[in-house]
C-alpha cells in the first residue's frame, strides 16, 4: 500500500488525512508492518488503528480504499435480510470466538475490536463518502469489477480502459488520475546508485526483474516453485533480481527458502520505491497479477511465465491479463533457454511494444 499511495500522500497537507491501519499493517510482530509504521512516522503522517477507530463510534467524511477490505454486504448486521441469519445464530460470544480465530490465523498481537461488523463492508463502517483508488491496472470480473464496487461514490482510474469498464457497471463518478506510483520513474534526477550497490548490478549485463504473484488460493498461480531452478541458470549471464510478492514472505516460506538455496538476489523491502529498480531493468518477468501492467506502462520488455494453474478460468475470469498476454511472449519452465536470445532481439521487441500501445494503461 505504501508503494501505491505514498506519491499521492506526499502531495497532500499532513493535516488533511488520517491513515487507518488494519490486518497485517497493524501487527506488532510483523517486520514489514514495523517498517511501514516507521516510514509513516518519518514522514509525519498521522495514522490510527482500525480497532481504535471503530471504538470511537465516529465516521470520516471521506474514505479512500482499494477494495472492500472485509464484510459481505452494503448493510450493517441489523439491516439486511441475510443479517437476520447472523442475528439469530451469531451471538456476541460467537463473534468474539470468530474474531479471536481470525487474529490467531493472521498471527496478530494487536487484536481486532469486536465492534467491527462482520457483515457490512468495512469502508462503510469507517466513513460516509467512498472513493476507490484503483489497485493496479489489471481489471477482472472475479476481483476488481466485483459487486462490492457499488459502494463507491468516486473511482480514481488509471486511464480510459478501467474508467470505461467501471462506468458500464457502476453508478459512481470517475476521474482519471494516471499512475502516480510511477511518477518518480520519469524524474530526470532519479538516483539508481543505491540500488546498483544493494543488488551488485553489473553494468555490463542486462538486468532482469522477476515479479511473481502470490499463491493465495493454492491454485499454482505463483511461478516461484515452477521456475526458480530453471531461471537460476541465467544468473551468470544477467543481473537477475526477484521481487516476491510481500505476502509470500509470510505465506510461502518454502518458496523463499528455495530462492535462497539457489542464491537469488531477493528484494525483501515491501515498501521500496520500485522506480530505481525498474529504471535499471531491461526486462520484467511476470506470471499473473498487476506487475505486467506496470512493465507495459514503462515500455519494458515483458515475458510471461506460464504456470500449471489449476483453475485458469477462475483465476483469469474476465481479467485484462488475458488481453495483455496476447501481445507478449509466454514461456514454459523448460523453455527458459530461449530467453537470452529472445531478450536480445531488439527488432522483435520494437514490434511487440508498438503493437501493445493500444492496451497501454495510461496514454
At 310 the pLDDT is 57
Based on the fold, state whether residues 212 and 310 are members of the same structural domain: yes
Residue 362 or 74, more confident: 74
| Whole-model pTM over 0.85 | no
- Whether the CA torsion 29, 68, 20, 266 is positive or negative: it is positive
CB 75 within 8 A of CB 83: yes
pLDDT digits (tens, 9 = 90+) for 235-251: 999 999 999 998 899 88
Query: How confident is the model at residue 90, as a pLDDT?
Result: 47
Count of other CB atoms within 10 angstroms of residue 120: 23
Beta strand pairing call for 239-242 and 207-211: parallel
Range of the domain at 353: 187-359
Does one domain contain both 170 and 226? Answer: no
Are 223 and 342 contained in the same domain? yes
Are residue 7 and residue 154 in the same domain, yes or no? yes
Helix 224-232 and helix 253-261, axial crossing angle in degrees, nearest 10? 10
C-alpha to C-alpha distance for 234 and 337, rounded to whole angstroms: 9
Mean pLDDT of 252-266: 96
Residues 246 and 321 in one domain: yes
In b/e form, how buried is each residue of 312-338, taking b as 16+ CB within 10 angstroms? beebbeebbbeebbebbbebebeebee
Would you place residue 161 in the very low, low, confident or very high pLDDT band (cuts 50, 70, 90)?
Answer: confident
pLDDT exceeds 50 at position 171: yes
Least confident of 51-55, 210-214, 294-298, 343-347: 51-55
pLDDT value, residue 22: 84
Measure the CA–CA gap between 334 and 230, rounded to whole angstroms: 7
- Indicate the pairing of strand 154-157 with strand 173-176: parallel
Q: Look at residue 104 in the predicted model and tell me its pLDDT.
A: 52
- Of 47-61, 151-165, 310-324, where does the model show the most confidence? 151-165
pLDDT at 247: 87
What's residue 117's pLDDT?
80
Please choose, from the candidates 239, 289, 283, 244, the residue with its C-alpha nearest in 3D space to the C-alpha of residue 267: 244
Residue 267 vs residue 23, higher pLDDT: 267
| pLDDT (mean) for 117-123 | 87
Q: Is the pLDDT of residue 279 over 60?
A: yes
pLDDT exceeds cutoff 50 at 108:
no
**Is pLDDT at 180 greater than 50 in this prediction?**
yes
Question: Rounded to the nearest 5°, which phi and psi values hold at 166?
Answer: -70, -40
| Residue 223 sits in the same domain as residue 326 | yes
Domain final position from 166, 182, 198: 182
Judged against a pLDDT cut of 80, whether residue 81 lies above it is answered with no
Residues 295 and 352 in one domain: yes
Strand 19-21 relative to strand 330-331: parallel, antiparallel, unpaired? unpaired
- Confidence tier at 317 by pLDDT (50, 70, 90): low
Query: Of the candidates 133, 167, 182, which is a domain's last residue?
Result: 182
Structure-block grid coordinates of residue 130: 467512498
Look at residue 70 and give its three-state secondary structure: coil
Mean of the per-residue pLDDT values for the chain?
85
Confidence grade of residue 359 (pLDDT, cut at 50, 70, 90): confident
Q: Using alpha carbons, select from 305, 343, 106, 146 the residue that is nearest to residue 221.
A: 305
Q: Are residues 134 and 193 in the same domain?
A: no
Residue 134 and residue 255 in one domain: no
Chain-centroid distance of CA 34 in Å reads 19
Query: Does 303 lie in the same domain as 355?
Result: yes
* Number of domains into which the chain is organized: 2
Contacts of 278 (CB under 8 A, 6+ apart): 182, 185, 209, 284, 294, 295, 298, 300
Average confidence (pLDDT) over 102-107: 48
Instruction: Look at 82 and 129; give whichever has higher pLDDT.
Output: 129
pLDDT tier at 275 (50, 70, 90 boundaries)? very high
pLDDT at site 118: 80
pLDDT at 258 over 50: yes
* pLDDT over threshold 80, residue 309: no
Residue 107 has pLDDT above 60, yes or no: no
Q: Per mean pLDDT, which range of 47-51, 78-82, 157-161, 355-359 is the poorest? A: 78-82
Q: What is the pLDDT of residue 115?
A: 60
* 166, 80: one domain: yes
Same domain? 160 vs 194: no
| Integer Rg of the chain from CA | 22
The dihedral sign for the CA sequence 77, 80, 82, 87 = positive
- What is the CATH classification number for the domain harbouring 251? 3.40.50.2000
Amino acid at each position: 500500500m505504501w508503494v501505491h499511495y505514498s506519491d499521492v500522500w506526499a502531495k497532500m497537507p499532513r493535516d488533511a488525512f488520517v491513515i487507518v491501519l488494519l490486518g497485517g499493517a497493524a501487527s506488532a510482530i510483523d517486520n514489514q508492518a514495523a517498517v511501514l509504521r516507521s516510514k509513516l512516522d518519518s514522514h509525519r503522517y498521522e495514522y490510527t488503528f482500525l480497532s481504535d477507530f471503530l471504538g470511537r463510534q465516529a465516521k470520516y467524511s471521506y474514505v479512500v480504499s482499494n477494495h472492500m477490505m472485509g464484510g459481505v454486504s452494503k448493510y450493517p448486521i441489523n439491516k439486511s435480510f441475510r443479517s437476520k441469519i447472523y442475528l439469530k445464530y451469531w451471538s456476541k460470544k460467537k463473534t468474539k470466538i470468530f474474531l479471536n480465530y481470525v487474529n490467531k490465523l493472521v498471527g496478530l498481537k494487536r487484536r481486532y475490536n469486536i465492534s467491527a461488523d462482520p457483515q457490512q463492508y468495512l469502508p462503510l463502517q469507517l466513513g460516509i463518502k467512498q472513493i476507490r483508488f484503483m489497485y493496479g491496472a489489471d481489471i477482472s470480473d472475479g476481483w476488481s469489477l466485483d459487486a462490492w464496487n457499488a459502494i463507491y461514490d468516486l473511482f480514481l482510474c488509471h486511464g480510459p480502459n478501467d474508467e470505461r469498464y467501471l462506468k458500464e457497471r457502476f453508478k459512481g463518478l470517475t476521474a482519471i488520475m494516471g499512475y502516480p506510483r510511477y511518477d518518480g520513474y520519469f524524474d530526470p534526477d532519479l538516483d539508481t546508485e543505491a540500488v546498483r550497490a544493494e543488488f551488485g548490478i553489473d553494468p555490463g549485463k542486462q538486468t532482469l526483474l522477476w515479479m511473481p504473484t502470490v499463491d493465495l488460493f493454492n491454485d499454482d498461480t505463483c511461478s516461484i516453485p515452477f521456475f526458480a531452478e530453471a531461471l537460476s541458470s541465467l544468473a551468470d549471464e544477467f543481473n537477475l533480481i526477484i521481487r516476491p510478492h510481500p505476502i509470500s514472505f509470510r505465506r510461502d516460506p518454502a518458496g523463499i527458502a528455495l530462492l535462497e538455496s539457489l542464491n537469488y538476489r531477493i528484494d525483501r523491502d515491501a515498501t521500496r520505491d520500485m522506480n530505481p529498480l525498474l529504471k535499471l531493468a531491461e526486462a520484467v518477468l511476470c506470471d499473473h497479477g498487476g506487475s505486467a501492467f506496470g512493465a507495459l506502462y514503462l515500455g519494458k520488455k515483458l515475458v510471461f511465465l506460464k504456470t500449471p494453474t489449476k483453475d485458469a478460468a477462475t483465476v483469469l475470469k474476465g481479467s485484462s491479463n488475458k488481453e495483455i498476454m496476447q501481445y507478449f511472449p509466454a514461456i514454459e519452465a523448460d523453455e527458459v533457454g530461449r530467453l537470452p536470445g529472445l531478450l536480445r532481439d531488439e527488432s522483435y521487441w520494437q514490434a511487440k511494444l508498438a503493437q501493445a500501445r493500444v492496451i497501454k494503461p495510461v496514454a
